[in-house]
Amino acid sequence: MTKTGLGASFRFHLVSSIRVALGLATFQLVLLLVLLAFQPPAARELLLKGLAAGIATPEAFSAARLGFAVWAIVASAAASRRLTPAQRGWQLHLPVGLRTRWAAGVLGVASTLAHLAGLWILLWIGGSALGEPASPRALVALPLVALAAAGTWTPAPRRVRACAAVAIPLAASASFPGLAAAVALLALAYFQAGRWSTRSTRVPSVPSSLRAFGRRLPTGQLVFSLRALGLWIMLAHLPAVLCAAPTGLAIHNNEFTADQTELVLRLGASLGVTATLLAIATLLSARRPPWAWSRSLPWSARQRVAADAVLMLLIASPLLIPLLYLPASSGLSVLALLVFLAVRLPGRMRNSLRGLTRLGAWTYIEALLAALLTSLQPLTALVLGLASPLVLEASARRERSLKVGLYLERRFEAAREAQS
């Protein structure tokens, strides 16, 4: 019964995971090819050789293997959102044990990492062909990393998922003690998976202090916005990378003075911050258009706008790391520009526009002019930063005066009856 139930459940997950894997693999591989295409030929060859050597090396905790482990965690998290809901549905009524159901879910999620496994194997073969020291333990670590990453996101008690999460870096180390510990942790997780019930997976009650804090802040809108963005949030920093590449090439291939170098760095940072925030605002306006239901929640217009501003600042927070390498005046000016755009764009998102430029053409022009003025004169950004409270109030006023309903003639018949 256990073997039959495991096979039937895994076949169900396998059929579903094929569709999920095709979508994830296409997106991830195209993004990888695009990033490699922007590299010079010498840098591309050096990068591929470094990845191949990092995968095949017998040294523990290779940066390449740890990077692939992080990639597996993200990919399995995206796959589990599509596959694991079935484990709380009709599969609960099958005559299959909890341990068998969990194992089938782990195998289903792990099967979506086939493209990652193929790339891992190709890099290992390439590393051995280049004469690099290749360890067979690196190939043994591959299925363990996939199973541990899948077990991290498959519905189970915290102790089961914690065992799988700890097994990921141990398996990626490709050392004999690490592989043995990873196998032991996965076996422990499999044993513990049969000792829980559906009641143990319920969300515990939230403490009263957190509930009071949640009433003051529109945390629900933050969660809703994050779910609306979904995996598209991974592309939010791609415009900043595209702006950083020509900035680095311009400084490396030209002989600038100290003032000119600071100007080029400030220009690249301003354009990167502006492009990233515009991308986030465009995605939010497309995937979370203004809806009337948010007006019925106990949050003011200022709180809703501030929640969007906080969300933008959180997503764009990794851009603050390169600002530490800029001079103090340039770093403060770019930071002030970031705050200004974060409170300005939520007001521009609240409109009834459709099409590619959902924010309106003037929004892009205004943001670009602010970035150029910041790069040319840092005091401009400081003025914009000081004006951020007034801009926040203007965005809140736009939120209060927005009419969510929009009549589009192409969606209605001549008698103004909605098309089915």
Which class for 257: exposed (0-12), middle (13-18), buried (19 or more C-beta within 10 A)? exposed
Q: Does residue 420 fall inside a structural domain? A: no
Percent of the chain's residues with pLDDT above 70: 78
H/E segment holding residue 144? helix 136-153
Give pLDDT tens digits for 118-171: 888 888 888 888 777 778 888 888 888 888 888 888 878 888 888 888 898 888
Averaged pLDDT score across all residues of the chain? 77
Hey, is 48 helix, strand or coil? helix
Judge if 263 and 328 occupy the same domain. Answer: yes
Q: Does residue 274 fall inside a structural domain? A: yes
Judge if 154 and 9 occupy the same domain. Answer: yes
Judge if 278 and 170 occupy the same domain. Answer: no
d(C-alpha 147, C-alpha 72), whole Å: 10
Are residues 387 and 337 in contact, defined by beta-carbon separation less than 8 angstroms? no
Question: Which domain does 330 fall in, by range?
Answer: 218-401
Judge if 37 and 133 occupy the same domain. Answer: yes
Judge if 338 and 255 occupy the same domain. Answer: yes
Judge if 175 and 249 occupy the same domain. Answer: no
d(C-alpha 57, C-alpha 28), whole Å: 25
Judge if 274 and 185 occupy the same domain. Answer: no
What's the pLDDT band for 205 if we cut at 50, 70, 90?
very low
Residue 251: what residue type? Answer: I
H/E segment holding residue 335? helix 328-349
**pLDDT at residue 9 above 70?**
no
> What is the structure's pLDDT at 200?
44
Q: How many residues does the chain have?
A: 420
Q: Which two tokens stand for residue 150?
A: 């899948």
d(C-alpha 218, C-alpha 299), whole Å: 7
Considering its fold, how many domains does the chain have in total? 2
d(C-alpha 273, C-alpha 85), whole Å: 37
d(C-alpha 412, C-alpha 297), whole Å: 30
Phi, psi of 151 (to 5 degrees): -70, -20
> How far, CA to CA in Å, does 331 sit from each of 261, 265, 269?
14, 10, 9
- Please state which of the ranges 37-41, 153-157, 336-340, 341-345 shows the lowest mean pLDDT: 37-41
